[in-house]
Structure 1
Amino acid sequence: MRFEVLGPVRAWRDGHEVHLGKPQHRALLGLLLVAGGRPVAMAELIDVLWGDEPPGTAVNGIHRIVGILRRVLEPELAPREAGRWLARSAGGYRMVVTADELDLLRFRALTGQAPDIGGFVAALRLWQGPVLAGFASRIREHPMVVALDREYQQAAKNAADLALTAGAADQVLGVLRQAADRHPLDEALQARVMLLLTAAGRQADALEMYRQVTRRLAEDLGVDPGAELRAAHQQVLQQETDEADRPAQLPRDLAVFVGRQDELAGVLALYRPPTGASTPVVISAIGGMAGIGKTTLAVHWAHRVAHQFPDGQLYLNLRGFDPAERVMEPGDALTRMLDALGVPATKVPAGREAKAALFRSRMWGRRMLVLLDNARDEQQVRDLLPSSPGCLVIVTSRNSLAGLVAAEGAVAVTLDVLAAPDAHAFLTRRLGPARVQRESDAVDQIIAFCAGLPLALAIVAAKAALRPQQPLAGVAAALHAARGLDALTSPDVTVNARAVFSWSYAALTPVTARVFRLLAVHPGPDVTPEAAAAAADVTPDRAQAALDELAHGSLITEHAPGRYQSHDLLRAYATELLADDEGTDARQRLFDHYLHSAVAAKLAVMPYAVPVTLDTPADGARPLAHAEPDAAMAWLRAEHWVLVGAVEAAYRQGLDDHVWRLTWSMSPLNQHVDTEIRMLEVALASAERLGDQLVIARISNGLVTMSLRADRADQAERYGLRSLEIARSLGDVATQFRVYVALCQVYQDREQMDRLLDAGRQAVALALTMGDITVESIARSELAAAYALVGDYPKSSAESARVLAIAEVEGNSVSYAAILDTIGYCHLRQGDPATALTYFQDSLAAAQAIGHITGAEPLVRNHLGDAHLAAGDVTAARETWEQALEIADELDASTARKIRAKLVALR
């Protein structure tokens, strides 16, 4: 006999289908088969067959149906014999079947332990339709049936995950498209099938599937697609990735890595490349005290397995225990990750949750290695964990990160100091076996002094290696002479790290020793020779020589060409050595170096920007000149996070003039919305401490635009009105003009038409006072748009004509794109969609030529979709709005909200 329940209830004997009789008979058999060999209680059988009103003879009725089924299944069965298949059990009945006899058990066997793709495909092909197909909803809504349907959905998702990881989309698409058709509202399944279609080169089919699912969700549930489905849609659209999206960020492996064999074997066993079952994200949290070698082991491990991750490796130092308390915020960490994945700054959304969703979507379907170094706690890393199968995440921290172990299934690896044999091998690898054997007593003393702390051993070995003629006994004696200092490490470890540092520091040349001390005041995550030269007031060549000497002595690390980092224990030690006046002077030189270099870079990139006034830089600051715009922009990008750190550090140090000027200089970078808002808010606080009303007004106006980009219109208006009040009191016409232009966008967003018209008129009046024709075109463009929105088309046309005339003379592409959009809008509102389409398409071409910097493209596409809809082309309208939404979601939250509402209304 052979039974099927994954679809209609059916049975075969010797290759011939058996007629199972009445619906009640088939229903009872079906429920027993769905139970998969487990007993089903009598009360449950009665409920399935008769519901809330069973007859008084229901128990006898069940016995009678069972008797009939036994004879149907075994015609030769004698009366009252139980037979082979249907057995009494636990006050009810059960079917005695195996995986060879029942499709359900076969399905579970194929999808059980470590299935391969072939097993998944064979299992999913067993399904011929809904479980118990053809029965009433009361039977099909039984919990066992519902649970079995969920098994099917989960198996389909697991198969998709495995195929995406293994690059085998074609093998599973047939059965998975069938599964997606059967469960059209399962967004997670639909998302996976979209990704499979894309992986199989069928991007158009994937986009069509997204449109169909979106429409179905709206019609059946009245909801928009969820985050996972939207993320899959975005990945389909961004499938054409280049090599920039495959980062290789791992720090250099240590060529002389030695020891940790047990720990290394343990971590290497944690991950195996997916060959069968869908491999989950593997997280390993490596913990231990400072200087214990966590990063060294993590980097070595990562290099050993990097070849298993063809989509790249990400690395981030989270600075969880930075002595200057510059711990990296989770939002900033996500921004850095998205940068590494090739996401332009203009496409990184504001807000930590939105960034985390985008990060997960960009990681989905990829096999990547992520190394998160020096984490303070679980909250700092949780949003940085990808959900895509086939990834490996390595986290290092001094803390236990128990939350990751409990909630995320992380594997904890705790490091201890090196045992004496490993410490001996450590020094042998660095100093050579002959030297170590020759002075074995001195080596033992060094090991005992360093107590197995790898950082201390590395520093001692580096210094000794640079002096091959010096007896190791002298090294040991010098270390013991430095014992008068307290330990820098945790109190439960008896190792005098500070003594090791002081011994190594004492051997530095005077200039290098001074550079080492002064690097403690550097505000960013890493330092260049030029910045080191400014800190120490030496030439760049001398700074480079000092950095080389420090690197050779393991006191700093060149983690990228020309960029150096220091262990936080060593930064803390350098801070202790630094005299107050020495540190104050170095900070002034450093902040002047970055301020004057950044302002020069901005003016090279944006020569039309109104320059800020600067004091003469401190002697020795050595600001950089930037002759070419490309070189200036490259410098700004390379120093971006250093400049962010400089703004925050300058604020803490009370260098308020530097804060707002540095913030001004960073504007060409098209920073991420939340980063720019944070910098502007810090700059505003500095301006308030200075009491500089003009600066307060201008920074407040900058916050108007950025608040709108973050869809915070109320906040934007508050900043605008504050800026306007101050600018009026100062008689600052230029700032008043900029505020009114910004307020036009605020009132348009909030649909406050009276205020919009007033702001537009005020902007034009101020522009005429200023006597600048380019400024006038900007103001008249805003006023034309305001007239169009209130329905005064003749006045809008008159203002538009003036703007076009100015644009033709001045070549102002921003005003040109905006005014074409306004003219198109007027034609559309007056019932002429054909002409409107022409203007919108021309405006779109102009907006695309400008780029994302103005945010014009999603606005124009929004109106273009309106025109398509008015012309009766619903498909074109939907496609245009979806294209606009892809840009606006990452660039302009306010416009994205409006477009999404239109798409919902269209459905």
Structure 2
Amino acid sequence: MSGSGREAQEALARFVGELKRLRQLAGAPSLNTLVAISASLRQPLARSTLSDKLTAKSLPDWPFVVAFVNACLAHADQAGIQLPAELTDLSRWDAEHWQLLRIADAARTEDRLRTAAHIQLGRRSGGTSPPAQPGPAGPLDQVTPRQLPAAVPSFVGRRAALARLAALLPADGSAATVPIALISGMAGVGKTTLAVRYAHQVADRFPDGQLYVNLRGFDATGPAANPAEVLREFLEALGVPAQRVPVGLDARSGLFRSLLAGRQVLVLLDNAGDADQVRPLLPSSPGCLALITSRGHLPGLVTIEEAHPIILDPLSRMEAYELLAQRLGMARVENEPEAANRIIAAAAGLPLALAIVASRAAIQAGLSLGRLADELTEPAVLDSFSHGDPRADIRTVFSWSYRNLDPTSARAFRLLGLHPGPDVCVPALASLAGVPEAQAGRTLAALVRANLAAEQLPARFVLHDLLRAYAAELVAGHEPETVRREALGRLLDYYLHTAYAADLLLYDQRDPISLAPARTGTAATPLTDRAQAWRWLAREHQVLLAVVGLAVDARFDTHAWQLAWTVNTYLDRLGAWQEQLVVQERALVAASRADDRDGQARAHRNRAVACLRLEDYDQAHDHLDRSLALYTTLGDAIGSARAHLNLGILAERQGRYQQALYHAEQARDLFTAAGNTNGTANALNNIGWYHSQLGNYRQALDRCTQALVLQQQVGNRYWQAHTWDSLGYVHFRLDHQAEAIRCYENALVLWREAAERYYEATTLTHLGDSQHAAGALDLARDAWQRALEILEQLGHLDAEKVRARLRSEPTQSAPTRSV
């Protein structure tokens, strides 16, 4: 046994030993008692699972650990037994469980490398060696994120707040819990500036990195950041490959906290909306620090998480004077002390307001402070942000910076009020304004210099929420409806045409749709390969969701359903099925309003895809029936065929294989009549698959072989994976295990190439079945375990079928067809 293998066995033994110690100290409840308690807690444990895990026959999964620990704690509580604190802390169990998984993962990686070396040696010597078995991705690389925004050079005061923040970190680094600081206060008071300043001061105490996110909790024109999406970004920043990021919020939060166990990381959560948005993003390792800024006081976070509240008031008169002097020079302020005091009074001690005033005064050196002070008496513009106190109204301050822009930049700033956010790229602004990208880039740089925008990430710009609201008011009041609509059209054209190009690069076998030509002045982002396409979609993920909603609200109905169609496969492969549902619902609204039956048919079918993924079969059936009826009315044979394919998949999942076969044969006939070789091949594979489920193995082998030949002719690698999987299952049923294993391994290569995690899990499950039937029990359990890990990350109900295999002899159930 290798060193890593021994280490993995020892780690498993230690972990199981701790589980046994907990059980013993909790009063030594019998296994049957634990089963009964876990059922009452709605975290059921199976008797066979308990025996298997407590004898260290296999790695315990996290749901088992949670259920076992909670059952033991409940028994101890009933018996009045006081348990050691370290055994009652789930975060401690979480950290140790994650460490166990990493050790086991490293051991499997070493085994694969050793197997590959044996194979190479066998080739050199002319001998033979067993085929290498596919394994999971190796252990995560240690990544040190450095995400803090740059600190603002001009910083004054806040000594009391800084002292309170410093008091949260013991000098010897011996904190027993995670310090959480909640900095709250009104908009523009300098919460972010303070948090970033302090974070930079203590960054050296967090050598494992600093994470930052703007949660947009009070964004006036767009949705707050989704904690699940933030966690995806955090996990990738910490080195988790995109393919290994779990789908569910709880799974992502658990993995995030596990990754931070034993590490020293600072997490800055800026502009939080409420406690629920924050809680999943909080680290649990005592070596970490969480800084939160919010306009709200978030009392729940203070009460439950014991966050330390720091309420930030406006700057004092002396602090505001010091800030103005830093920005403008002491001499200029001292030359007009009365005007400076009026400016400070009008800005109400808001650093943001003072910064914009100073910016204008610095740019126009000949402009007197007295003139600036006089202009502060102009009428307010943003009533919703006045808070009932004229002194806190910074609309006029915004107007100074805005009016100082050149006409091109001023127009661009207004038009940014039409963008849904959360951030904007250069080509998007170029499209809004109808100008070349170089000019748009220069304009954004000018807006940054004027404190009207910020470059939060390279080439991605954000507007402070008050500034976005100000821009929205300006564009509504200064630009005619025709101008606003034409600008929106160019913006939607940019996102639609670029997303469509990315979609075709990633999924080139999709049936195309016809897009109207982009309007004159629309920018283009050339995408030349799959990697570029994926990166663009990932960067624009949240923007694209917002743009679909914008298109619906603005009644650009064709753009709305075509954008939804374009991002559908990306969201499907990513596992973002709830987002897929919402997007397709909006597409249906738009296509129905436009009386576009083709758009309705596609939206119904795509919504059914998401329903199938989420196992909402009644909704899936309803949407597929409507889609098929629309395609039939339109005389669209290929659309009808695809609806039949999906109806077959639905019937299969409900165990109606004869009905599934009927739909697949209908699809084949329609595809063949239309001359669609791709579709014919895919239908043949499904026909073969349903024959295998009916026990007609020879017919299944014949149809799947025909399908594979056609798919290889047209280069459809995604559907080849499905067919290799089907052939593997047929050979498995015919007891040709060596051939079945070969087919499954071919399918796995293609699934990983397509980043198709769900079907990778189904093929791994059946690879394990064949390995088990061939007597390779360890390889079988390894394949099932890897399948289970993927399904748990996806939050898919098929995980229970795999757990059943790991608990006992495998049951033969089939992977499902592609939707």
Shorter-chain TM-score bucket reads 0.7 to 0.9
Amino acid at match of 1:702: N
Amino acid at match of 2:81: A
Find the counterpart in structure 1 of residue 515 from structure 2: 614
Amino acid at match of 2:733: R
Find the counterpart in structure 2 of residue 647 from structure 1: 548
What do residues 407-443 of structure 1 show as CA deviations (whole Å, max 9, x unaligned)? 1111111111100111111112212223233333332
Match for 1:266 among 152, 164, 187?
164
Which secondary structure state, in structure 2, belongs to the residue aligned with residue 666 of structure 1? helix
How many angstroms apart in 2 are the aligned matches of 1:518 and 1:820? 52
Find the counterpart in structure 2 of residue 533 from structure 1: 430
Q: Is the 8 A contact 2:178 2:290 kept in 1?
A: yes
Find the counterpart in structure 2 of residue 657 from structure 1: 558
How many angstroms apart in 1 are the aligned matches of 2:365 and 2:711? 73
The structure with the larger Rg is 1
Find the counterpart in structure 2 of residue 86 from structure 1: none
Which secondary structure state, in structure 2, belongs to the residue aligned with residue 281 of structure 1? coil
What do residues 548-568 of structure 1 show as CA deviations (whole Å, max 9, x unaligned)? 222222121121222221111
**Quick one: structure 1 residues 575 and 800, their matched pair in 2 at CA, closer, same or farther if it must change by over 3 Å?**
closer
User: Aligned-residue CA RMSD in angstroms?
Assistant: 3.4
How many angstroms apart in 1 are the aligned matches of 2:774 and 2:531? 45
**Quick one: structure 1 residues 365 and 644, their matched pair in 2 at CA, closer, same or farther if it must change by over 3 Å?**
farther
Find the counterpart in structure 2 of residue 762 from structure 1: 666
Find the counterpart in structure 1 of residue 196 from structure 2: 299
**Quick one: structure 1 residues 690 and 349, their matched pair in 2 at CA, closer, same or farther if it must change by over 3 Å?**
farther
Find the counterpart in structure 2 of residue 431 from structure 1: 328
**Quick one: structure 1 residues 693 and 879, their matched pair in 2 at CA, closer, same or farther if it must change by over 3 Å?**
same
What do residues 162-207 of structure 1 show as CA deviations (whole Å, max 9, x unaligned)? xxxxxxxxxxxxxxxxxxxxxxxxx876654444557889954999
**Quick one: structure 1 residues 238 and 373, their matched pair in 2 at CA, closer, same or farther if it must change by over 3 Å?**
farther
Find the counterpart in structure 1 of residue 594 from structure 2: 690
How many angstroms apart in 1 are the aligned matches of 2:695 and 2:172? 62
Match for 2:207 among 310, 330, 333?
310
**Quick one: structure 1 residues 585 and 802, their matched pair in 2 at CA, closer, same or farther if it must change by over 3 Å?**
closer
How many angstroms apart in 1 are the aligned matches of 2:547 and 2:384? 31
TM-score normalized by the length of structure 1: 0.71
Query: Following superposition of structure 1 onto structure 2, how do residues 571-586 of structure 1 map, counting pairs within 5 Å?
Result: 571-578=468-475, 579=477, 580-581=480-481, 582-586=483-487
Find the counterpart in structure 2 of residue 594 from structure 1: 495
Which secondary structure state, in structure 1, belongs to the residue aligned with residue 216 of structure 2? coil
How many angstroms apart in 1 are the aligned matches of 2:740 and 2:523? 56
The CA deviation at 1:784 is 0.9
How many angstroms apart in 2 are the aligned matches of 1:646 and 1:206? 42
Find the counterpart in structure 2 of residue 252 from structure 1: 150
How many angstroms apart in 2 are the aligned matches of 1:362 and 1:711? 31
**Quick one: structure 1 residues 678 and 479, their matched pair in 2 at CA, closer, same or farther if it must change by over 3 Å?**
same
What do residues 85-117 of structure 1 show as CA deviations (whole Å, max 9, x unaligned)? xxxxxxxxxxxxxxxxxxxxxxxxxxxxxxxxx
Which secondary structure state, in structure 2, belongs to the residue aligned with residue 435 of structure 1? helix
1:470 aligns with 2:354: no
Q: Is the 8 A contact 1:292 1:454 kept in 2?
A: yes
Find the counterpart in structure 1 of residue 685 from structure 2: 781
**Quick one: structure 1 residues 402 and 854, their matched pair in 2 at CA, closer, same or farther if it must change by over 3 Å?**
closer
The CA deviation at 1:701 is 1.9
Match for 1:147 among 81, 89, 108?
81
Which secondary structure state, in structure 2, belongs to the residue aligned with residue 383 of structure 1? helix
Find the counterpart in structure 2 of residue 703 from structure 1: 607
Which has the larger displacement, 695-704 or 466-475?
Answer: 466-475
The CA deviation at 1:815 is 4.0
Q: Is the 8 A contact 2:211 2:234 kept in 1?
A: yes
Amino acid at match of 2:721: A
Amino acid at match of 1:864: L
Find the counterpart in structure 2 of residue 232 from structure 1: none
**Quick one: structure 1 residues 686 and 725, their matched pair in 2 at CA, closer, same or farther if it must change by over 3 Å?**
same
Identical columns (%): 37
How many angstroms apart in 1 are the aligned matches of 2:619 and 2:457? 41
TM-score normalized by the length of structure 2: 0.79
Find the counterpart in structure 1 of residue 41 from structure 2: none
Q: Is the 8 A contact 1:855 1:892 kept in 2?
A: no
Match for 1:893 among 796, 799, 802?
796
What do residues 147-172 of structure 1 show as CA deviations (whole Å, max 9, x unaligned)? 35x11xx34688xxxxxxxxxxxxxx
Q: Is the 8 A contact 2:98 2:258 kept in 1?
A: no
Find the counterpart in structure 2 of residue 510 from structure 1: 407
**Quick one: structure 1 residues 863 and 804, their matched pair in 2 at CA, closer, same or farther if it must change by over 3 Å?**
same
**Quick one: structure 1 residues 333 and 237, their matched pair in 2 at CA, closer, same or farther if it must change by over 3 Å?**
same
The CA deviation at 1:692 is 1.9
Query: Following superposition of structure 1 onto structure 2, how do residues 61-76 of structure 1 map, counting pairs within 5 Å?
Result: none
Amino acid at match of 1:901: A
Aligned length, in residue pairs: 707
Q: Is the 8 A contact 1:274 1:390 kept in 2?
A: no
Query: Following superposition of structure 1 onto structure 2, how do residues 353-368 of structure 1 map, counting pairs within 5 Å?
Result: 353-368=250-265
Find the counterpart in structure 2 of residue 177 from structure 1: none
How many angstroms apart in 2 are the aligned matches of 1:862 and 1:635? 33
1:496 aligns with 2:397: no
The CA deviation at 1:646 is 0.8
Which has the larger displacement, 621-630 or 866-875?
Answer: 621-630
What do residues 532-580 of structure 1 show as CA deviations (whole Å, max 9, x unaligned)? 2222233333333332222222121121222221111122222222235
The CA deviation at 1:713 is 4.0
Q: Is the 8 A contact 1:290 1:489 kept in 2?
A: no
**Quick one: structure 1 residues 294 and 881, their matched pair in 2 at CA, closer, same or farther if it must change by over 3 Å?**
same
Q: Is the 8 A contact 2:136 2:786 kept in 1?
A: no
The CA deviation at 1:877 is 2.2
Amino acid at match of 2:535: A
1:904 aligns with 2:802: no
How many angstroms apart in 2 are the aligned matches of 1:792 and 1:201? 41
Find the counterpart in structure 2 of residue 523 from structure 1: 420
The CA deviation at 1:778 is 1.1
**Quick one: structure 1 residues 614 and 541, their matched pair in 2 at CA, closer, same or farther if it must change by over 3 Å?**
same
Which secondary structure state, in structure 2, belongs to the residue aligned with residue 494 of structure 1? helix
Q: Is the 8 A contact 2:565 2:606 kept in 1?
A: no
Amino acid at match of 1:271: L
Q: Is the 8 A contact 2:173 2:287 kept in 1?
A: no
What do residues 40-71 of structure 1 show as CA deviations (whole Å, max 9, x unaligned)? xxxxxxxxxxxxxxxxxxxxxxxxxxxxxxxx
How many angstroms apart in 2 are the aligned matches of 1:341 and 1:513? 39
The CA deviation at 1:665 is 2.8
1:242 aligns with 2:145: no
What do residues 490-529 of structure 1 show as CA deviations (whole Å, max 9, x unaligned)? 1257333122222332222222222221111111211223
Q: Is the 8 A contact 1:858 1:895 kept in 2?
A: no
Which has the larger displacement, 634-643 or 780-789?
Answer: 634-643
Find the counterpart in structure 2 of residue 679 from structure 1: 583
Query: Following superposition of structure 1 onto structure 2, how do residues 327-342 of structure 1 map, counting pairs within 5 Å?
Result: 327-342=224-239
Q: Is the 8 A contact 2:644 2:664 kept in 1?
A: yes
The CA deviation at 1:742 is 2.6
How many angstroms apart in 2 are the aligned matches of 1:441 and 1:460? 16
Which secondary structure state, in structure 1, belongs to the residue aligned with residue 435 of structure 2? coil
Q: Is the 8 A contact 2:502 2:537 kept in 1?
A: yes
How many angstroms apart in 2 are the aligned matches of 1:738 and 1:366? 50
1:867 aligns with 2:770: yes
Amino acid at match of 1:747: A
Find the counterpart in structure 2 of residue 884 from structure 1: 787
1:856 aligns with 2:759: yes
Q: Is the 8 A contact 1:258 1:426 kept in 2?
A: yes
Query: Following superposition of structure 1 onto structure 2, how do residues 152-231 of structure 1 map, counting pairs within 5 Å?
Result: 154-155=85-86, 191-196=94-99, 203-204=106-107
Find the counterpart in structure 1 of residue 219 from structure 2: 322
Q: 5+ unaligned residues in a row in structure 2: which ranges? A: 1-24, 26-74, 112-134, 811-819
Amino acid at match of 1:684: L
Q: Is the 8 A contact 1:368 1:390 kept in 2?
A: yes
Match for 2:466 among 546, 569, 594?
569
Which secondary structure state, in structure 1, belongs to the residue aligned with residue 208 of structure 2? coil
Which has the larger displacement, 618-627 or 480-489?
Answer: 480-489
